[in-house]
């Protein structure tokens, strides 16, 4: 009987650890975006899930000397002149059926004011997020780092 209890306890611990790993294989959470040129963190992004649709906004500016009151000067329409902190940059991404990929959304580059088709792919056990913005066959991928 003691062996059965030990075996059950081991299975519970193992399953609990697996579910924690699976829980991280999602873009939902807080991320540091990284500057392509310097490799330094430039902003903190919070991604949330609302009924299976992801959205994300800037929660902090991390660059040295960044003005916390900065506004989006390059944005268009209703986002022009809005504060960078709180700016919605990810909209409409949905999980691809049977995959650990979220797509069909848009991502805004506040530095250029342009929006791109979005694809989010958690990697490295969910510790990193490949963020791909594209227009047609052209685009680029950044790797964001999960904030622990």
The domains of the chain are located at 27-146
Quick one: 107 exposed, middle or buried, by C-beta within 10 A (0-12, 13-18, 19+)? buried
Confidence class for position 60, pLDDT limits 50, 70, 90: very high
CA neighbor of 32 nearest in space, from 69, 72, 61: 61
pLDDT at 1 over 90: no
Q: Are the beta carbons of 131 and 107 closer than 8 angstroms?
A: yes
Q: What is the sign of the dihedral through the CA atoms of 148, 70, 109 and 87?
A: positive
82 CA to centre of own chain: 21
pLDDT tens, position by position, 94-148: 999 999 999 999 999 999 999 999 999 999 999 999 999 999 899 999 999 999 8
The helix/strand/coil state of 117 is: strand
pLDDT at 16 over 80: no
Which secondary-structure segment (H or E) carries 87?
Answer: none
pLDDT tens, position by position, 32-59: 999 888 889 999 999 999 999 999 999 9
Q: Between 117 and 77, whose confidence is greater?
A: 117
Which secondary-structure segment (H or E) carries 92?
Answer: strand 88-95
Beta bridge partners of 107: 90, 116
- Quick one: DSSP state of residue 68? T
Residue 37 is predicted with a pLDDT of: 86
**DSSP per residue, 38-61:** T--EEEEEEEEEETTEEEEEEEEE
Residue 62 is predicted with a pLDDT of: 95
**What is the topology classification, in CATH, of domain 27-146?**
Lipocalin (2.40.128)
Confidence class for position 11, pLDDT limits 50, 70, 90: very low
Residue 2 is predicted with a pLDDT of: 54
């Amino acid at each position: 009987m003691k062996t059965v209890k030990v075996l059950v306890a081991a299975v519970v611990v193992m399953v609990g650890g697996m579910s924690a790993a699976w829980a991280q294989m999602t873009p939902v959470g807080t991320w540091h975006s990284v500057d392509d040129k310097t490799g330094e963190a430039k902003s903190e992004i919070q991604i949330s899930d609302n009924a299976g649709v992801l959205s994300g906004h800037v929660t902090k500016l991390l660059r040295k000397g960044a003005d916390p009151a900065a506004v989006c000067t390059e944005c268009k329409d209703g986002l022009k002149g809005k504060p960078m902190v709180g700016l919605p940059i990810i909209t409409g991404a949905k999980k691809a059926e049977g995959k650990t990929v979220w797509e069909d959304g848009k991502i805004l580059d506040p530095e250029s004011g342009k929006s791109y088709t979005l694809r989010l792919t958690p990697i490295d056990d969910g510790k990193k997020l490949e963020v791909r913005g594209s227009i047609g066959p052209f685009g680029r991928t950044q790797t964001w780092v999960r904030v622990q």
